[in-house]
Structure 1
Amino acid sequence: MNSNSLLHLKLGIKSIALLAMLLIVVSCKKVTKINNAPKTKEVTAKDILGNPNYLAICYGGYRKNSREIQPTIAQLKEDLLILAAMNIKVVRTYNVHLAHASNVLKAIAELKKEDPDFEMYLMLGAWIDCQNAWTDLEKNHDVESERNAIEIDEAVRLANKYPEIVKIIAVGNEAMVKWAEEYFVQPNVILKWVNHLQKLKKDNKLSKDLWITCSDDFASWGGLDDTYKVKDLEDLVKAVDYVSMHTYPFHNTHYNPEFWKIPNHQGNLPKKDLTDAAMNRAVLFAKNQYNAVQNYVRSISPNKPIHIGETGWASSSDGFYGNEGSKASDEYKQAYYYNAMREWTNKEGISCFFFEAFDEPWKDSGNPLGSENHFGIFTVDGKAKYALWKYVDDKAFEKLQRNGKSITKTFKGNSENLMKTVLTPPRH
C-alpha cells in the first residue's frame, strides 16, 4: 500500500469514528429530551369540583332487593362504562363497611389498566352513626358509635391504596340532620373526624390534594334556622375543604308543598305547561336552599367552595309523591329536573352529584313501588329513563349492556305513552 493510500485509509477511519461519536451524542440528546418531557398533570379534587367536564353522580350498583347480594366486579365495570359514555367522571359511594366501595375502586383500576384513556374518580363516603344506631336500644345522639373509627380507618386505607382514583373523602352522609332519628350525631363528632383526616394530610399520611368534606342536608349547613348554627358547625365550615350540601325539592312537594301547588292564576293552562311551571318552581326551591347555605357559609369562610352532594327526583311512587299524594313522581318531571339542574350547576361552576345513577330495589325492599327504589336515571335492568333518551338516540350506549341487555329507552321510546303517565301537580 503506498503512502497516499495509507493516508486516505487513516482519514477514513477517523471520519467513521467521528461519525459514530456524533451519532452517540445525538442519540443521548434524544433520550435526554424524552426523559425530561413534562409529565401529565395529576387530576386533583380542585381540578374536578366545579368543572363541567367532570360530571358527577351518586352510585350504588346493587341490583337485588338486599345489599347482602353484592354486585360483582364485572357488573360494576358494566355500570361504570355506561356512566362514562354519558361523560360522568366522578362517582360517589356511601360507606366502606360493605364490599361495594372497595370493589368499585378495583373495577375502576381494572378499567384504567385495560384502557389508559378511561377516566373515573371517586368521592369516598365514610358512614357515621350515633351510639346504638340501627338497634332497638335507646339512641344517644351525643355519643358516637365505636364503629366510626373503623370506618374512617378503612376510608384512609382505600384512599392511600388508590390515590389516583380517590379524590374526596366525605365524613358522614346526612349524619347531622335531626330528622335522621335513627343515627344522627352532633357536629362535634363530624368535626373530630374531619380534623383527624386533615392532620393525616399535614403529616403526609394522606395526599395533600385529597379534599375532605361532610355531605349533609342543607339544614345541617345552616341553611334553615338558627338551631343548627352552633360553634362546632362554624368550626366545621372552616375545617372542611368544601361544603357538600343536599337539596331535595322532590321530598318537599309533600313536606313543604306551598311552592309546588298550582297558583290560581295558572288554572287554565295545558297540563304540560302547568307541570313545567311547577318544575321551574322546584328548581328555584333548590337554588334558594343553595343560596341560604351559601349566605351562612360565606359569613364564616368567605371563599369556601360549596357543591351539591345530592339532589334528585324519583320517577315513581305509590306513597306521598304519587297519584294519592303530591303527584311529583314520573319520568317527565325527573328528566326536567335533571336537565335543569345540570344546566344551572354547570353554568355556575357547581358540582352536582345527581342522585342517582341506577334504581336500587333494596332501599324499600318491602314495597317495590316505593319512591326510594326509583331515583335512578336508569332502571335496574338498564333501560334509560326519559332524561337519557337523547343518549340512546346518539348511540352513546351502543355495544354496552346491563344484566345482559342492551341499553334501550323506557316506554319503548314512545313519548306519547310517557306523557300519559305525567301527573298534574295539585292546586292551591
Structure 2
Amino acid sequence: MQSSLTTQSSIEKLTGLKHGNSICYSGYREGQDPRLGIFPSYAQVKEDLLLLADNWSYLRLYDCSKHAETVLSVIETEKLDFHIMLGVDMAAEVSNPNCPWGAHFDDEKLMENKRHNSDEIDRLIALAAHYPKSVFSVSVGNEASVEWTDHMVPVDSLVNYVQRIKANIAQPVTFCENYVPWTNKLAPLVAELDFISIHTYPVWEYQNIDNALEYTKNNYNQVLACHPHKPIVITEAGWTTQSNGQGIESWNASEALQTAYYAQLLEWTTKERILTFVFEAFDEPWKGSDDPQEPEKHWGLFKVDRKPKQVMQEA
C-alpha cells in the first residue's frame, strides 16, 4: 500500500499548491438561514475571513448560493489569500427508506430536485470559471450516497455530473462523503474523480477521545486500501462541544475534547501532509432540531458570536 505521504504529495502536484491548514466555512449567524434565503452580508463575511486568515489558507464551501458568491467576492475584492473548495447542494433524486428521519418523495418532487441539481451544477461551473484563482477544486456533492442520507443521488447521476463539470472547467473534481461508501458503492465514481474526499467522525460512532485519532486513521486507511492510486483528502473531521444526547452522549461533547482531538488530528495530518478540512469554523444555530443543545449546532471552533472556544484560545 502506498503511504499517505505519497498520496498527499500527489494532491499537491495535482493542484500546484502547498500543504496548509484547512477548514469548513459557513458564515450563518443568529437569525440567518440558507433555507429561508437569509444570508450573511459582505461585511460579515469579510469579518469572518479576516479572522480565519490568521490560521487557515484553505476553505471549503458547501453550495453555490448567494453566500458562496459573497465569499468569493470578498476574497477577490479584499485580495485575501484563500484557496476554495467549492461545492454543490444536492437534493434527493431518489427516496431513501434507510434515512432515520424520513426521506420519501413523490415523483413530482424528485423531478423538481433533479432540475435543482442541474441548475446547481451550472452555478458551480460559472463560479469556478469566474474565480479561477480562488477556486482550486470543486465537489459534486456532500454526503449524497451514504446509507442514511436524506438527499440520496444515484452513483450514475453523480458520474454524469462529474463528466459535465470536467467538460467545462479546468479545476480538479471530487465528491465529499463518509468514508464507508468509498469502500464499496462509489467505485464507478472514483474512476471519474481527480481525488477522493472523505469524512471521519469518531464521536458520531461512539468513540472516546482515547481512541479517536486511531479510529480516524483506520477510516482513512480503509479507503486508501481500496483506492491506493487515487489521492485522498479529508473534507470533514471534528468534535462537537455540546450534545443533547441524541446520537452523541452528552459527556462525550465538550470544548476540552474538541481541543484534544483537534491537536491530535493536526499533528498527524500535518506530518503526513494530508489535506484536512476541520469541521467547522463557526457554530451554526440554524442546523438540526430546535433543541439548543442539538449537536449539529456546536461544531465550530468559534461560537456563533465569533468568540473563540478553548481550542482557539490554546492555538
TM-score by length of structure 2 reads 0.87
1:56 aligns with 2:17: no
Q: 1:45 to 1:72 in 2, by over 3 A?
A: farther
Q: Is the 8 A contact 1:132 1:140 kept in 2?
A: no
1:380 aligns with 2:304: yes
Secondary structure of 1:291's partner? helix
Secondary structure of 1:91's partner? strand
Query: Residue by residue, what CA displacement relative to the aligned partner does 1:181-230 show, whole Å, maximum 9, x if unpaired?
Result: x2112211111111122222xxxxx23xx1100011101111xxxxxx24
Q: Is the 8 A contact 1:321 1:327 kept in 2?
A: no
For residues 133 and 93 of structure 2, what CA distance do their matches in structure 1 show? Answer: 34
What is the aligned partner in structure 2 of residue 235 from structure 1? 188
Match of 1:80 among 49, 52, 56: 49
Matches within 5 A, 1:362-401: 362-364=286-288, 366-391=290-315
What is the aligned partner in structure 1 of residue 161 from structure 2? 193
For residues 26 and 242 of structure 2, what CA distance do their matches in structure 1 show? Answer: 18
Cα RMSD of the aligned pairs, angstroms, is 2.4
What is the aligned partner in structure 1 of residue 8 from structure 2? none
Q: Is the 8 A contact 2:283 2:301 kept in 1?
A: yes
Question: Which amino acid in the other structure matches residue 92 of structure 2?
Answer: C
Q: Is the 8 A contact 1:176 1:220 kept in 2?
A: yes
Q: 1:292 to 1:326 in 2, by over 3 A?
A: farther
Return 5+ residue gaps in structure 2 as ranges.
1-11, 96-101
Q: 1:379 to 1:342 in 2, by over 3 A?
A: same
Equivalent residue pairs, number: 294
Question: Which amino acid in the other structure matches residue 71 of structure 1?
Answer: P
What is the aligned partner in structure 2 of residue 314 from structure 1? 240
Return 5+ residue gaps in structure 1 as ranges.
1-42, 113-117, 201-205, 223-228, 254-259, 261-277, 392-428
Question: Which amino acid in the other structure matches residue 186 of structure 1?
Answer: P
What is the aligned partner in structure 2 of residue 111 from structure 1? 78
1:140 is displaced (CA, Å) by 10
1:57 is displaced (CA, Å) by 0.5
For residues 252 and 141 of structure 1, what CA distance do their matches in structure 2 show? Answer: 32
1:250 aligns with 2:203: yes
Secondary structure of 1:123's partner? strand
What is the aligned partner in structure 1 of residue 6 from structure 2? none
1:152 is displaced (CA, Å) by 0.5
1:103 is displaced (CA, Å) by 0.7
Query: Residue by residue, what CA displacement relative to the aligned partner does 1:335-369 show, whole Å, maximum 9, x if unpaired?
Result: 11111111111111111111000001000361221
For residues 349 and 91 of structure 1, what CA distance do their matches in structure 2 show? Answer: 17
What is the aligned partner in structure 1 of residue 98 from structure 2? none
TM-score by length of structure 1 reads 0.65
For residues 223 and 260 of structure 2, what CA distance do their matches in structure 1 show? Answer: 24
Query: Residue by residue, what CA displacement relative to the aligned partner does 1:20-56 show, whole Å, maximum 9, x if unpaired?
Result: xxxxxxxxxxxxxxxxxxxxxxx986233xx43x211
1:320 is displaced (CA, Å) by 2.9
Query: Residue by residue, what CA displacement relative to the aligned partner does 1:353-396 show, whole Å, maximum 9, x if unpaired?
Result: 110000010003612211111000000111111111134xxxxx
Match of 1:283 among 213, 219, 237: 213
1:292 aligns with 2:222: yes
Match of 2:66 among 89, 99, 106: 99
Q: 1:149 to 1:142 in 2, by over 3 A?
A: closer
For residues 172 and 240 of structure 2, what CA distance do their matches in structure 1 show? Answer: 30
Matches within 5 A, 1:157-176: 157-176=126-145
Q: 1:354 to 1:104 in 2, by over 3 A?
A: same
Q: 1:358 to 1:58 in 2, by over 3 A?
A: same
What is the aligned partner in structure 1 of residue 176 from structure 2? 215
Q: Is the 8 A contact 2:94 2:110 kept in 1?
A: no
Question: Which amino acid in the other structure matches residue 60 of structure 1?
Answer: S
Secondary structure of 2:173's partner? strand
Q: 1:44 to 1:126 in 2, by over 3 A?
A: farther
1:237 is displaced (CA, Å) by 1.1
Secondary structure of 1:367's partner? coil
Q: Is the 8 A contact 1:362 1:373 kept in 2?
A: yes
Secondary structure of 2:136's partner? strand
Q: 1:146 to 1:321 in 2, by over 3 A?
A: closer
Q: 1:90 to 1:167 in 2, by over 3 A?
A: same
Larger radius of gyration: 1
Q: Is the 8 A contact 1:321 1:329 kept in 2?
A: no
What is the aligned partner in structure 2 of residue 340 from structure 1? 264
Q: Is the 8 A contact 2:94 2:152 kept in 1?
A: no
Query: Residue by residue, what CA displacement relative to the aligned partner does 1:138-172 show, whole Å, maximum 9, x if unpaired?
Result: 47999872211100000010011111101111001
Which fold has the larger relative contact order, with Cα–Cα distance below 8 Å and residues 6 or more apart in sequence? 2
Secondary structure of 1:318's partner? coil
Match of 2:90 among 128, 131, 139: 128
Secondary structure of 2:68's partner? helix
For residues 107 and 296 of structure 2, what CA distance do their matches in structure 1 show? Answer: 24
Q: Is the 8 A contact 2:155 2:188 kept in 1?
A: no
